[in-house]
Amino acid sequence: MLKNFEDFQKFGKDNADAALKQFGTVQKGWQAIATEFADYSKKSLEVSSATFEKLLGAKSLETAIEIQSEYAKSAYESFVAEATKMGELYTDLAKESYKPLEGMLAKVTPAK
């Protein structure tokens, strides 16, 4: 596999390049996940605060129950959408972080 010193040096350089590329990809993926989570948290807090204000202004129990029901439904739908989006971000992170390693593994794995 590694026939001489130059091959060994090239192999080491290629591995270092792949590791740096993978690190950059992982860093970008985690940054996207953190940004998405922060945006969702901010939006959720805003909606919760607005709902609380509506509840304080409710004139009857029926109105309060209606406000709470609408909030619960929209919060659930928002959560499911966000969970789906976060799942996709995690999946993309896994796929993208593996790509730099594919070429490296192909060089190391003997051909059949």
Instruction: Report yes or no on 5 lying in a domain.
Output: no
Within a domain: 16: no
Whole-number pLDDT of residue 112: 57
Is residue 91 in a domain? yes
Q: Does residue 44 belong to any structural domain of this protein?
A: yes
Specify if 10 maps to a domain: no
Distance CA 38, CA 32 (A): 10
CB 22 within 8 A of CB 97: yes
Please report the pLDDT score of residue 9 as a whole number: 75
Predicted confidence at residue 20, as pLDDT, reads 81
What pLDDT score was predicted for residue 109?
A: 64
In-domain check, residue 63: yes
Q: Kindly report the length of the chain.
A: 112
pLDDT confidence of residue 96: 85
CA–CA distance, 18 with 102 (Å, rounded to integer): 9
Residue 76 lies in a domain: yes
Domains identified in the chain, total number: 1
pTM higher than 0.95 for the full model?
A: no
Is 33 a domain residue? no
Q: What is the residue range of 77's domain?
A: 38-101
The rounded average pLDDT for each run of 10 residues, N- to C-terminus, in the chain (112 residues) is: 67 77 86 95 96 94 95 96 96 85 67 56
